Chains A and B, each alone.
Chain A
Amino acid sequence: MEPVIRADHITIRFGDFTAVRDVSLSVGRGEIFGFLGPNGSGKTTLIKALCGLTPIASGTGSILGLDVRRNAAAIKRRIGYMSQKFGLYEDLTVAENMDFYGGVYGLTNAALSSRKDELIALTSLGPYLDRRAHRLSGGWKQRLALACALIHSPQVVFLDEPTAGIDPVARRSLWDLLFTLSGQGVTFFVTTHYMDEAERCSRAGYIYLSRLIAIGSIEELQRMPEANPPGTTRLALHLENSSEALALIRRLPYILESTIFGRSVHVLIDQAATTRLHADLTASGVHATVEPAEVSLEDVFVTLTNRIAREDTPTKEAK
């Protein structure tokens, strides 16, 4: 079956700058695909290219089987888009915002009014219809933005950091909405910085310095050999004073990575050195309980990022 979103070796350039380099991915119907990466790594650029807005230098892409270079107009009618800025008109009411986007997508009055009823039921925006958008809280603005992005019943929806700056309760209820809709066959392409959100996705990709460096289901990503180098293991050290101990732990030569989680420190350690760790900690007067740790998505991305940073540094110096 043809994937709903397909990118095949897409490269995008702005002058001398390569914003997206040789990215290939595909997303199937009803999937929630998480697209992660630091700011400026090319996330929004790839979305705009897949919507036919930004020209592609090489490679091909398609949405619902429509070529992004040739069928931009047809694609735009079939996709929804919501950005972290929400794209709402603050001086218009909730209903007027929905009416405007309905008009933009050419909905007839009858179609618009029945679709509005469905979306109001879905998002519980009913009591706020006559309220101006600027008087809504962040979470309600986000629901309205989602309702506007869904007004024309798109089969594919791009969400560009939809939960930036939104409180945890509103974030969770947005994700509940996304699961409901994906159950109905809507495909979502979501960018986010939140690892907990990424772990809710059916699959995820990580873009760094314009390159897609990892893609797969969450389990596949966690098992990536690059994130779990042979001969290493991940441990959680529960400490009394984690920030003080961190400096000490980082000086140990066999510790490859270390991150603080509250009162514990997660480390990637040379497997052979686990017993030495105990001795070294006790010698420094640090009391720690040590447990094996699960690899998290964050661990995976941090490890991959550090690897690339290490590989890049010598070549830069050589120049």
Chain B
Amino acid sequence: MTGGPFSGLLPVCRKEFVHLSRDRTTVFFALAIPVLQLVMFGFAIDTNVRQVPTIVLDSSRTQESRRLLEAFANSDVFQLRYFGASESDLYEAIRAGQAKVAIRIPPDYASLLQQGRLATVQVLADGSDSTITSHAVSTANGVVLQEAMHRLLGLNARPPIEVRPAVLYNPGLRSPNFFVPGLIAIMLQMMVIMLVSFSVVRERERGTLDQLWLTPVSPLGLMVGKIIPYGLLAFFELTIVLVLMRVLFQVPVHGSVPLLYLLAFAFILTVLGMGLLISTRAETQAEAFQMAVGTLLPSVFLSGYIFLIENMPIPFQGISRLIPATYFIAIVRGIVLRGATLAELWPQAAVLTAMGLLSIFLASRAFVRTRG
């Protein structure tokens, strides 16, 4: 039992489980916060642009202008909520935040159309919300273009070319399908890094670590004894979130669940190692917390969780390749949404496995050095 590189593993592991069973608040928050996030992302956040509040100034007041406004309303992107009396009303409504878009049809709209001359329609958009605005502007272009075609070809003619879009894998373009797989990576990282680093740093703060180093407990025995309970907790959390995702948000899992768990193991190993590395550097739990948050920010913003990696400047794309969450998010989205298999995912899987091994190797080296 004692002696050997893993001396003390079992008693440490058993003790960690007792700590977990005693420290219900920590475990509750570790498990409940991700679930709360999941519910928030799933229900509250909808990145699809619909029913943008719009103000209209129709100075033409003709059959033609009403037809155009109807086309805007039918697009589902615009909600023609207000009707202005003057041009200044439009600017006022946007500045006040009541409307995001303003449509102005000039008085000579119908007469210019009838004469076959160029009629203009002005669309003003609030640039302070760039996602909504760009979507609204391109929809407005589409609406007006289609109206122009009808004018040219006759009201009942069919345009010669038509796009037939088919959205694969997330046909409803639902936000949970995009966010939840990424969320899995982010919350696993947060939970594991915090719990593991806290559990070691707490021992340093209370002096039990000094005591342990004077017993036959070896650095690797202590490390693995702490990895096992928190690793298992991470898999438990993964399962909860997958079930909620499937049942509550009806996101179907197209690929292999065992493959997902296998690759999740590589990711959990990586973040366990990161947590242990933090624990060898941090003297207090507050310090460990700051370091954990420090790893979290790049993982949230540069991993493709929220923003597309391809749209980032080249240096940031380079950084995103160093972040473990980048690979795990790609893997989860691939397996859950597209039914990808190891044949397609092997590059990410290989990098993540290498990161997991490297992280555990560095952690164990640092752990052996901190003793004494």
> Measured between C-beta atoms, what is the minimum distance from A26 to chain B in Å?
21
Q: Does B129 make an interface contact (CB < 8 A)?
A: no
B208 and A88 within 8 A (CB): yes
| B207/A87 in contact, CB under 8 A | yes
Q: Could you tell me if B214 and A96 are in contact, using CB atoms closer than 8 angstroms?
A: no
Assembly CA distance A77 to B3 (angstroms): 9
Q: Which residues of A contact B215 (CB under 8 A)?
A: 76, 81, 101, 104-105
| In contact, B15 and A85 (Cβ under 8 angstroms) | no
- Name the residue of chain B whose CB is nearest to the CB of A102: B11
Q: Determine if A104 and B217 form an interchain contact, defined as CB atoms under 8 angstroms apart.
A: yes
Q: For B15, what are the chain A residues with a Cβ–Cβ distance below 8 Å? A: 89, 92, 96, 100
A104 to B15 CA separation, bound complex (whole angstroms): 11
Residues of chain B contacted by A79 (CB below 8 angstroms)? 214
How far, in whole Å, are A87 and B207 apart by their CA atoms in the complex?
A: 6
Q: Is B372 within 8 A of A54, CB to CB?
A: yes
| Partner among A85, A105, A106 whose Cβ is within 8 Å of the Cβ of B207 | A85
B14 lies within 8 A of A104 (CB): no
Q: Does A48 contact B (CB under 8 A)?
A: yes
Contacting pair A77 B208 (CB below 8 A): no
Q: Report the contact-size class of chain B (Cβ under 8 Å from the partner).
A: 20 to 34
Interface residue total, chain A, C-beta cutoff 8 A: 30
Contact A51 B214 (CB under 8 A): yes
Tell me if B164 counts as interface (CB < 8 A to partner A): no
Please pick, from B7, B11, B206, B207, the residue contacting A100 in the complex, using a CB distance under 8 A.
Answer: B11
Q: Which of A77, A88, A99, A132 contacts B216 (CB 8 A)?
A: A77
Q: Would you call A239 an interface residue if the criterion is a C-beta within 8 Å of the partner chain's C-beta atoms?
A: no
Closest B residue by C-beta to A85:
B207
Give the distance to chain A from B353, nearest Cβ to Cβ, in Å. 33
Chain B, residues 1-36, CB within 8 Å of chain A (1/0): the string is 111000110111011001100110000000000000
Measured CB to CB, the closest approach of chain B to A230, in angstroms, equals 45
Contacts of A76 in B (CB 8 A): 214-216
CB-based contact A86/B207 at 8 Å: yes
**What's the Cα separation between A233 and B210 when bound, in Å?**
45
B206-A104 in contact (CB<8A): no
- Within 108-144 of B, Cβ neighbours of A (below 8 Å) are at none
Encode contact with B along A166-194: 1 for CB under 8 Å, 0 otherwise: 00000000000000000000000000000
Task: Give A45-97 interface residues, CB cut-off 8 Å to B.
Answer: 48, 51, 53-55, 73, 76-77, 79, 81, 83, 85-92, 96
Q: A100-B11, A104-B11 are in contact. Are A85 and B2 (CB under 8 A)?
A: no
Q: How far, in Å, is B222 (CB) from chain A's closest CB?
A: 10
With A and B bound together, what is the CA distance between A48 and B214 in angstroms?
Answer: 8
Within 8 Å by CB of A53, from B8, B19, B213, lies: B213
A182–B217 Cα gap in the complex (Å)? 27
Interface residues of A (CB under 8 A from B): 48, 51, 53-55, 73, 76-77, 79, 81, 83, 85-92, 96, 99-106, 132, 158
Q: Which residues of B contact A (CB under 8 A)?
A: 1-3, 7-8, 10-12, 14-15, 18-19, 22-23, 206-208, 210-217, 371-372
* Given A53-B214, A85-B206, A104-B11: 11 more A-B contacts, CB < 8 Å: A55-B372, A83-B210, A85-B208, A85-B211, A87-B210, A89-B19, A92-B18, A96-B15, A104-B216, A104-B217, A106-B2
